[in-house]
Amino acid sequence: MNFVAPDFMPVLPELLVLTMACLVLVIDVFLEQRQRHITYGLAQLTLVGAALLTLVTYAQAPVTTMFGHYIKDAMGDLLKLFIYLATAVVFLYSRDYLKQRDLFKGEYYVLGLFGVLGMMIMVSAHSLLSVYLGLELLSLSLYALVVTDRDSPVASEAAMKYFVLGSLASGMLLYGISMIYGATGSVDLQVVADAVAVQGKDNLVLVFGLVFLVVGLSFKLGAVPFHMWLPDVYQGAPTSVTLYIGSAPKLAAFALVMRILVEGLGALQDDWHQMLIILSALSIALGNLAALMQSNIKRMLAYSTISHVGFLLLGILSGTPEGYAAAMFYTIVYVLMAVGAFGVIIMLSRAGFEAENIDDFKGLNDRSPWLAFLMMMIMMSMAGVPFLVGFYAKWVVLQAIINVGLVWLALLGVLFSVIGAFYYLRVIKCMYFDKPEQSGEPITLSMDTEIAISANGLLVVVLGLYPTALMDVVRSGLLN
């Protein structure tokens, strides 16, 4: 058996991130604490370099390499670009927060870069093996990131829960993969797809495998009833890590669902369609209802994430190209809003003070009218107020499922969005109409952070007015 060297050109961005992550790990050891910004700079540089490489080699047509385990296509490249962007913004927002807490260490960036690598592999996975590889690489990085503040009991508890439950979910996913392999004799998604098309859903092993796969994916996405880790982890982790977990990994999770369910098991659409209906309806209902009762804003946003995941699943379960485009649009917009919302939380925190409760937002308008305005835009967009991008995202998703005749599900989504508007608006009410509990001094931000958060908040407005700009990009990504 001859070994033929695979084509390394398509995986250049991954190779760069891998090399740089290792390099940062080594360099960081030799740096003094005051030189730590070099680590930060290198991490950002890595992301920029990867983005440039991805742009230069942007896929015109799908290419598989690494013996069929890896695929480079437009959807993957597009999602990767958004992953780099989201991660870069996350690094930027959390820099000052980490400094104030003595957490400004190399680990955050090394683990962050490895997480990005994991996401890239997930996005470009073309076999169940690489799916699992990427997923575990990301998950292990996240487990460790949650507990970066290792003296914090809350963080340790959260990390422990995350790790145990994550292992359980990984186990289920692996079990599902083994069943699929048993039924089809391959892990290559193309081969699996062909085999499934022949066997159909009469094969009970296939359906069992599908259920286990869906459970594993649902855990990663945080869909009800596999969501319970999410509020605890969001609340327990340092806000900088919550910011990381809540943003780019959602893009990767979306890609994962697309790769496995749509590309690999598309022939079983009737089956996963029903499962996703249950999962999404439960997620939308429970996420919105539970968020109502929260006083901790990170926890509230965690439940809000669950409800947004429900919406994302709506787009996918419609099973049409418009539905996939709508879901991808929704994911990107959700990441934009989540980064902004957690970004504002992180900026309100100071040394020795965590802005975690909704009450901490009281009177924000007096302290920093601009931040309050940006937060208001983001909250309203999350609630789906018209002419902000969140509204359009919800609209295209609902349109997609109405087109396949699921009007009742659309109505359910709308109904719970209305209920959900309450807790978003409560934040706005706190910022504008309540007096602060302790007199907070005005918020000072570094220049680059301020520009980024302004751009982030304004993008919510601008994309709301010109949603087609982003929608066209998304459609072009899904076309080939």
Partner 1 sequence: MQNVYLGIVLAPLFGAIIAGLFGRKIGRAGAHWVTIMGVAIAFLLSLVVLRHHVMQGAEPYNGTVYTWMVIEGIRLEVGFLVDSLTAVMITTVTFVSLMVHIYTIGYMHDDDGYQRFFCYIALFTFAMLMLVMSNNFLQLFFGWEGVGLVSYLLIGFWFKRESAIFASLKAFLVNRVGDFGFLLGIAAVLMAFNSIDYADVFAAAPLMADMTIQIIPGVDWSLMTVICILLFIGAMGKSAQVPLHVWLPDSMEGPTPISALIHAATMVTAGIFMVARMSPLFELSPTALSFVLVIGSITALFMGFLGIIQNDIKRVIAYSTLSQLGYMTVALGVSAYSVAIFHLMTHAFFKALLFLGAGSVIIAMHHEQDIRKMGGLWKYMPITWFTFLLGTLALVGTPGFAGFYSKDSILEAVHFSHVPGAGFAYLAVMLGVFVTSFYSFRLYFIVFHGKERMDHHTQEHLHETPAVVTVPLMLLAIPSVVIGALTIEPMLFGDMFARSIFVLPEYNVLEHLKEHFHGAISFALHGLTGLPFILVLAGLGSSYYLYMVRPDLPGQIQQRLSVLYDIMNRKYLFDEFYQSFFMRGSRSLGTALWKYADAGVIDGLLVNGTARLVGWVASVTRCLQTGYLYTYAFAMIIGLLILLTWFVTR
Q: Which is nearer to partner 1, 171 or 369 (CB)?
A: 171
Strand partners, 72: 63
Binding-site member from 86, 232, 239, 325 for partner 1 (CB under 8 A): 232
Q: Which is nearer to partner 1, 161 or 429 (CB)?
A: 161
Residue 207 lies near partner 1 (rule: CB under 8 A) = yes
Residue 468 lies near partner 1 (rule: CB under 8 A) = no
SS (H, E, C) 103-138: CCCHHHHHHHHHHHHHHHHHHCECEHHHHHHHHHHH
Q: Which one of 3-11, 109-117, 204-212, 395-403 is the stretch in contact with partner 1 (CB under 8 A)?
A: 204-212
For 1, other C-beta atoms within 10 Å of its C-beta total 3
Q: How many residues bind partner 1 (CB under 8 A)?
A: 32
The DSSP secondary structure of 65-88, one letter per residue, reads ETTTTEEE-HHHHHHHHHHHHHHH
Residue 133 lies near partner 1 (rule: CB under 8 A) = no
Q: Which is nearer to partner 1, 162 or 311 (CB)?
A: 162
| Site map (CB under 8 A) of partner 1, residues 84-113, x = contact | ------------------------------
Residues in 111-130 at the binding interface with partner 1, rule: CB under 8 A = none
In whole angstroms, give the CA distance from residue 228 to residue 245.
15
Q: Which one of 101-109, 177-185, 287-295, 469-477 is the stretch in contact with partner 1 (CB under 8 A)?
A: 287-295
Q: Which is nearer to partner 1, 12 or 282 (CB)?
A: 282
**On the CB side of 47, how many CA atoms lie within 13 Å of its CA?**
27
Q: Which is nearer to partner 1, 173 or 332 (CB)?
A: 173
Residues 375, 345 contacting (CB under 8 angstroms): no
For 202, other C-beta atoms within 10 Å of its C-beta total 7
In whole angstroms, give the CA distance from residue 186 to residue 355.
50
Q: Which is nearer to partner 1, 58 or 422 (CB)?
A: 422
CB of 234 to partner 1, least distance (A): 12
Structure token pair of residue 44: 């950002």
Q: Would you give the DSSP letter of residue 63?
A: E
Q: Which is nearer to partner 1, 226 or 342 (CB)?
A: 226
The DSSP secondary structure of 245-261, one letter per residue, reads HHSHHHHHHHHHHIIII
Structure token pair of residue 195: 């085999």
In whole angstroms, give the CA distance from residue 366 to residue 383.
24
Residue 245 lies near partner 1 (rule: CB under 8 A) = no
Residue 71 lies near partner 1 (rule: CB under 8 A) = no
Q: Which one of 26-34, 200-208, 404-412, 468-476 is the stretch in contact with partner 1 (CB under 8 A)?
A: 200-208
Strand partners, 188: 127
Q: Which is nearer to partner 1, 47 or 471 (CB)?
A: 471
Residue 214 lies near partner 1 (rule: CB under 8 A) = yes
In whole angstroms, give the CA distance from residue 67 to residue 242.
36
Residues 379, 390 contacting (CB under 8 angstroms): no
Q: Would you give the DSSP letter of residue 296?
A: B
Instruction: List phi, psi (to 5°) of 442.
Output: -60, 155
CB of 261 to partner 1, least distance (A): 14
Instruction: List phi, psi (to 5°) of 64.
Output: -110, 145
Taking the CA atoms of 275, 291, 296 and 426 in sequence, report the sign of the dihedral they define. positive
Q: Which is nearer to partner 1, 207 or 385 (CB)?
A: 207
Residues 166, 229 contacting (CB under 8 angstroms): yes
CB of 285 to partner 1, least distance (A): 9
Residue 478 lies near partner 1 (rule: CB under 8 A) = no
CB of 226 to partner 1, least distance (A): 5
Binding-site member from 18, 27, 133, 419 for partner 1 (CB under 8 A): 419
Contact residues: partner 1, CB under 8 A: 160-161, 164-165, 168-169, 172, 204, 207-208, 211-212, 214-215, 218-219, 225-226, 228-229, 231-232, 271, 274-275, 278, 286, 289-290, 292-293, 419
